[in-house]
Amino acid sequence: MAPAVSFSSSAFGPIMTAHRGDFTGPAALVARGLTKRYGASLVLNDVGFEVGAKSVVSFVGENGAGKSTLLNILSGIVRPDGGTVEFNGRPYLPAGYGEALSLGLSRVFQEQSLIPNIPVYENLVLGHEHYFDRIRQFVDHRAMIAAAERIVAEAGIDVDVRRRTDAYDFSKRQSIEIARACLAPLLIAGQASPLVLLDEPTSALDRRDEEAFFALVSRLKAFASLIFISHRLTEVLAISDRVYVLKDGELVADRLASDTDEAGLHGLMVGRERDADYYHERRQRVLAPAAPAALSVRGLSSSGEYESITLTVHAGEVVGIGGLLDSGKSALGRGVAGVEAPEAGEIALADGQPVRPKITDLVRKGLGYVPAERLAEGIIPSFSVAWNISVAGGGDVMASRIGIWRNRLETTTADRFVRELAIASGAPRQICSRLSGGNQQKVVLARWLSRNLSILILDNPTRGVDAGAKEEIYGVIRRLTDAGVGILLITDELLELIGLSNRVFIMLRGKIVAEVPAPAENKPAERDLVALMLPQSDSAGVVPAFKPVTESFPLTEKAA
């Protein structure tokens, strides 16, 4: 079967203009009374809503509010216990995602769903391979490549579709998945009025890919309808026509985006107004000149990732690391944590003695590490809350000297942190895959809070976490610094970087290029940090307010 659209034509060209959503005509999708239970837990309760034709509708709510369950129902992954859906005027209840795709619905999942070890073009046509069959015996790879090249060109992303998908960084892979969901229904399947579900699509995008995404959404509204989920309320208000608010599985508000603001949405989501001191800056510690070091790094290097990194994190201090996604900051975090051992340099913890850069040794000496990719590296989803919390203590806390596992200690420890961190539906024996993203992240944090920490490395600790859970995590960070724990914070969120940090180091192409003071009473501006993150050619006209680093930072006397 041939592709539905000729890839030498400009089928997408005439619709490259912004389009305002229309709620006066027939709706693209109408849901009534959607209900879903898991055992005694009512996850969705009588939820009804409409998605106007050629519009963007957003759903906001705290983690666990029911947003992902709603998208899973629409995607055919989960069957509702009650309610009906109509899509383009017809009853709609797909038996699986493949059927949903054939009916005109596509989705960007919260966790990436690409196959890393195949070429980009094969990922871009995934689910649409039958359009490239030749007499049901052969696959026309040349046509696949042509289709994929058209998709990435229209999406505005710079990739070679013949390369393996895992040759690209996380942001670019996210852009590939977005391009597939947004454009394959039109350019391959020829569906004139598709519905695209976007579940936290921007959480892993760098600045350029994010700009390309919003430009694409603006153009898509000329023919498609979109459901958008994001914890970034600024984005929600910028691109949405209508916003629905879910709380505890119920639809509690329906607003035109033009009639509300961030503060109003936040209050509807969490039941209270957003605290003006969102990052708990009033609790930021003022460190004495002789504050001891919790972490000292000297000359750390790893080929192609980072070079000659020297810095110190003091006890009770938050040191932020900022930069673009390709700056090397996440690789540095993995290196300092001993997940990927650096090729050169020294690491010392609170005792000032150099330690082997191996995570098991570092953990025993008081280091904790929260990785950026929660499901891939942070938890084992099919294991229990208790197991995921206790796993870091298997060698020296949860097992006796003769190797007998302390089941009672594991359960009581998990129960304690379920209560302290308000892990919803987080009974110690609950399977982690059944928790929301924010509650899964709390489980990862609890793993390290259950140990005697001196330094905690956090890589994007609030990625995919709602506003209320973010504020709770920020409170946990301040509690740790009050107890004298040093925090190395790596984040793509500029406001988070600024609001939480005592000092900010900026990385560019694997090197530290600036140190920026960030005292509670005099925080740097976003534009100043952005100017330091960009290559010189990209930052013309943006004047940084801080002196670039020209020499290595001295270690504390104790560490030296």
Domains of the chain: 13-270 (3.40.50.300), 275-283+291-366+452-560 (3.40.50.300), 372-450 (no CATH)
What is the structure's pLDDT at 273? Answer: 55
Output the six-digit token pair for 225.
């309808």
Please report the pLDDT score of residue 203 as a whole number.
Answer: 76
Q: What does pTM read for this prediction?
A: 0.66
CB atoms within 10 A of CB 200: 22
Is residue 445 within 8 Å of 466, Cβ to Cβ?
Answer: no
Q: Is the Cα torsion angle 26, 29, 35, 41 positive or negative in sign? A: negative
Residue 2: what pLDDT?
43
pLDDT at 12: 38
Structure tokens at 314: 């003091």
What's residue 506's pLDDT? 96
Q: What is the structure's pLDDT at 21?
A: 46
Q: Which residues, including other chains, have CB under 8 Å from residue 527's CB and lie 6 or more apart? A: 542
Compute the distance between CA of residue 51 and CA of residue 31 in angstroms, rounded to an integer: 9
- Backbone dihedral angles phi then psi of residue 169, each to the nearest 5 degrees: -75, 175
Contacts for 90 with CB less than 8 Å, ≥ 6 apart: none
So what's the pLDDT on residue 20? Answer: 41
CA distances from 63 to 59, 69, 196, 420, 428 (A): 12, 11, 21, 17, 19
Chain position carrying tokens 């969490």: 270
Q: Which residues of the chain have pLDDT under 70?
A: 1-25, 135-136, 271-276, 394-395, 426, 536-560
- What's the pLDDT tens digit per position in 225-278? 999 998 888 889 999 999 999 988 899 999 999 999 888 888 888 765 556 678
Task: Convert the pLDDT of each residue in 451-466 to its tens digit.
Answer: 889 999 999 998 877 7
Q: Are 195 and 51 in contact (CB under 8 A)?
A: yes
